[in-house]
Structure 1
Amino acid sequence: MKLLRVGASGAEKPALLDPEMALRDLSQIVRDFDEETLSPAGLQKLAAIDWKNLPKVQGTPRIGPCVPRPLNFVGIGANYKDHVAEAGIPIPDEPLVFLKAAGSHCGPNDDIRLPRGSTKTDWEAELALVIGSKAQCVSEEAALDHVAGYFVCNDLSERAFQNERGGSMIKGKGCDTFGPVGPWLVTKDEVADPQSLGVWLEVDGVRRQSGNTEQMIFGVRKLISHVSHFFTLFPGDIISTGTPGGVAMGMKPKPMYLEAGQTVRLGVEGLGEQTHRVVQG
């Protein structure tokens, strides 16, 4: 299934993208993609519905973030060898974990707002996942049992805030609009192998990132298990799994960071695309 949320910011309603690429209203079936809906039993209930009997969503509403704002929006840094190389840092011995602030969470086509004082806002196309059942100290073997589905994330980063303002990752990772997710959540039964998905990003039509999740240093199973040994992951929590090479920070001879007026497009194979205008916040 491809699940999404449509409507004005803060008033999104649950919907389904049917096999004919039409939007179907789920608001009479579930309240939202909350703990109950994202659970194995909840997704099984949705899968049993005949989508032809669901009313179509009228018009062309805004697509919001594919899951409600999570308790924990987890990011993973330095998780592709080519990205580590371009950053000039050693390959980590274990996953580099950080959290993104609540205000970073937004829709897949919402504007990217450059924060005041920003000079080095960067892009990061990533595979993300949402937790469907509570994960606490889970094994790598059982890790995927806790996944509800996968989607696209742009883990935007203000590099000056991140690296030059006291060494706190969240300063550069948690800015408003710096975590667009979606357009839709693809349930895990439709993703045969999360370690074999193409990841790409363009700025003003120029391809900047082209990678594949098979290039991850730490795979999805490892990431879920690792994070769950430090804090509990709750249903609805997001893990964004890191970005391949091709970010602005690594450009030679001079980085070309995002500027107001630009357009960013990105996607993950089988999970849809995002398109954003860059505006001054």
Structure 2
Amino acid sequence: MKLLRVGPAGAERPALLDQDGVLRDLGGLVPDIDGALLADEAALARVAAAAADGSLPALDAGLRVGPPLARIGKIVCIGLNYHDHAAETGAQAPSEPVVFMKAPDTVVGPDDTVLVPRGSVKTDWEVELAVVIGRELRYAASHEEALAAVAGYAVAHDVSEREFQIERGGQWDKGKNCETFNPLGPWLVTADEVPDPQALSLKLWVNGVLRQDGTTADQIFPVAEVVRYLSQFMTLYPGDVINTGTPAGVALGRPEPKPYLKPGDVVELTIEGLGRQRQELAPA
């Protein structure tokens, strides 16, 4: 299923995109799309049944699309997780996943405005596969157990301010948690529709120029290992999100003068089968 949330920011309602591309209202069936729904197999079965029998009312296709998940618990991110991206930044491939966090309040809709922070001169783009957790998980003993906890997948844009991240001391968090720095969606695609998360193409354009063109097959740590690994250090709960890293092609990895983002730029990104985002940048 392709689950999403539509309507004004802060007042989104749950919806579903059916097989014919028609937007369907889930408001009469579930209160929202969140961790509680993803952990409720019976509720998900009711949604699937209603989608199959055509009983869900249609919605206006012109509604704003918000983040596909409400009340996100935590966002865990993996850095330097593609062989080509590590190479372009001059870094060695890590022996264990590089882990950092993003605050849930960085999340906006897939087509919402992204704000360039005050004083920023190195705002960068990163298309990423987001993994959404649907089952409580701790100390996973196998990749199979880890993948069984995955409810679905989404497109994430891990916007980054490289000067804040790398040159201002401390941890990466300062360059990762600026307002609007995690557009998510348009859809949460349930795991049954993504049989192999290591066979997805990822692309990103800036002002119509293709900048990133990669595949999750190039991940250093595949999705199953990322989820298993994280569960050794933290409990993963329904509604948690994992951003799994970005392929080569970011501004940081390009020759000088590096083409960092500025107000007025337009970024578009897509992951195979998971939908497309488009953001215009504006000053904070």
TM-score (norm. length: structure 2)? 0.96
Instruction: Please show how residues 114-263 of structure 1 align to structure 2 within 5 Å.
Output: 114-139=116-141, 140-263=143-266
What secondary structure sits across from 2:54 in the alignment?
helix
Contact 1:130–1:150, Cα closer than 8 Å, also in 2: yes
In structure 2, what is the Cα distance between the partners aligned to 1:21 and 1:246? Answer: 31
In structure 2, what is the Cα distance between the partners aligned to 1:44 and 1:87? Answer: 45
1:103 aligns with 2:105: yes
1:94 aligns with 2:96: yes
Show the counterpart of 2:5. 5
Contact 2:34–2:72, Cα closer than 8 Å, also in 1: no
Instruction: Please show how residues 31-110 of structure 1 align to structure 2 within 5 Å.
Output: 31-39=31-39, 41=41, 42-49=43-50, 50=52, 52-58=54-60, 60-110=62-112
**Identity over the aligned pairs, expressed in percent?**
51
**Residues 171, 29 of structure 1: CA spacing in aligned structure 2 closer, same or farther, 3 A cutoff?**
same
**Residues 51, 199 of structure 1: CA spacing in aligned structure 2 closer, same or farther, 3 A cutoff?**
farther
How far is 1:89 from its partner?
Answer: 1.1
User: 1:217-236: per-residue Cα shift (whole Å, max 9, x none)?
Assistant: 00000000111111111101
1:23 aligns with 2:26: no
How far is 1:59 from its partner?
Answer: 5.3
In structure 2, what is the Cα distance between the partners aligned to 1:25 and 1:138? Answer: 36
**Residues 58, 77 of structure 1: CA spacing in aligned structure 2 closer, same or farther, 3 A cutoff?**
same
Identify which range, 105-114 or 49-58, moves more after superposition.
49-58
User: What RMSD over aligned residues (CA atoms) do the two structures have, in Å?
Assistant: 1.1
How far is 1:166 from its partner?
Answer: 1.4
How far is 1:174 from its partner?
Answer: 0.9
Contact 1:40–1:133, Cα closer than 8 Å, also in 2: no
In structure 2, what is the Cα distance between the partners aligned to 1:203 and 1:234? Answer: 34
Structure 2 counterpart of 1:47, one-letter code:
A
Contact 1:24–1:51, Cα closer than 8 Å, also in 2: no
How many residues align structurally? 281
The answer for unaligned runs of 5 or more in structure 1 is: none
Identify which range, 138-147 or 40-49, moves more after superposition.
40-49
In structure 2, what is the Cα distance between the partners aligned to 1:51 and 1:15? Answer: 16
In structure 1, what is the Cα distance between the partners aligned to 2:129 and 2:64? Answer: 22
User: 1:235-267: per-residue Cα shift (whole Å, max 9, x none)?
Assistant: 010001000000000111321100100100001
Contact 1:18–1:51, Cα closer than 8 Å, also in 2: no
Q: Which structure 1 residue ranges, 4+ long, deviate > 6 Å from structure 2?
A: none
Identify which range, 15-24 or 31-40, moves more after superposition.
31-40
TM-score (norm. length: structure 1)? 0.97
Structure 2 counterpart of 1:160, one-letter code:
E
What secondary structure sits across from 1:47 in the alignment?
helix
